[in-house]
Amino acid sequence: MASSDDDSAVLVLADGTLLRGTACGARGTAIGEVVFNTGMTGYQEVMTDPSYEGQLVTFTYPELGNTGVNDQDQEADRPHVRGLIARQLSPRPSSWRSEETLERWLQRHGVVGIRGVDTRALVRHLRDGGAINGAISSDGTAPAVLLEQVRSAPSMDGLNLAAKVSTRHPYRWSRLCPADFDARLQPQPERPYRVVAIDFGIKRAILERLVAHGCDVTVLPADASLEDVLSQQPEGVFLSNGPGDPAVVTTGIALARALLQQRDLPLFGICLGHQILGLALGARTFKLGYGHRGLNHPCGSPGEVEITSQNHGFAIDGASLPEAVVKVTHLNLNDRTVAALTMREQPVFGVQYHPEASPGPHDADHHFGRFAALMAARR
């Protein structure tokens, strides 16, 4: 793709690193936490996943846009990434599902991007030094000014972004992923299970998998009270994924703690929801150096390994979990962090990774089946 001087862009990191490239998407300046995703596919799902709120995402795969974008792969109504960092963008998508080029989609949604940078060198830098605040700019702002703005931007530590991305009003979800595109088993009970999902930044693919496993889902805001939840007469409660620091999602932690007192009510948490469960049980969370974001993270229990899709920058401190009450069932086999937990005496469990796998492998879809089985046993 040809470029001119007017297409120049810069990436400035808080440690003073300056990378120059070519602008893509919308023109402007975007400031956020610079992270990387190692997936070879799923760029549209990543950029619309609310868990990426406030972040500038570096894609390690060398070319984006090969398959274009389409309405079905949206995880939310709009992109949630603050900026895009890529080696190269394909100008001509090739897919029967494509409805628009990635470049046009980025422009239409106001996502600022930079391409033509050495993403491999950038990822090595982030792995060595950790995720760091940065700025992408294509509007002519001087690098020195950008560096000052980046250094004054808030850290992801202490940010409650779940409140920002959550729905404002309750709604019901009944849509399935089109059967001709997702051939996974879709068992249905005689009567749907009444499930309340707490939206801390929920992905549509998770809602679709809950429906596929026989759930009638009502989605409530992140600040829902115990009374709000119980008024729906749920047979199970789901705590969703989401962005930011889990330790400051105080209303969600308080709700989870109250729900744990409903001792026979099945609870299931994914990603941020898993961390909130851990916090409600008395554990601590901590920020990972550069997080887990990709589609090939191995997680295991004795004698079993799942290749998983992941997207998180925080984790539960396993040593802080009450061992008499909670069992760690899965570990991330790369760094031995907590990947899943279950309560010993209650129908409560959480997984740090994404069993809906949008995108990613389907190894972990059985966790939705487990949630359904707990609700069936309660009936």
Catalytic residues: 271, 354, 356
Handedness of CA 342, 164, 287, 281 (dihedral sign): negative
How far is it, in rounded angstroms, from Cα 322 to Cα 177? 38
Pinpoint the alpha helices (H) of 269-330: 272-280
How far is it, in rounded angstroms, from Cα 240 to Cα 200? 6
Helix (H) or strand (E) holding 286: strand 285-301
Q: Which two tokens stand for residue 59?
A: 């894609």
How far is it, in rounded angstroms, from Cα 168 to Cα 325? 34
Contact 72, 43 (CB under 8 A): no
Burial class of residue 92 (count of CB atoms within 10 Å of its CB; 0-12, 13-18, 19+): exposed
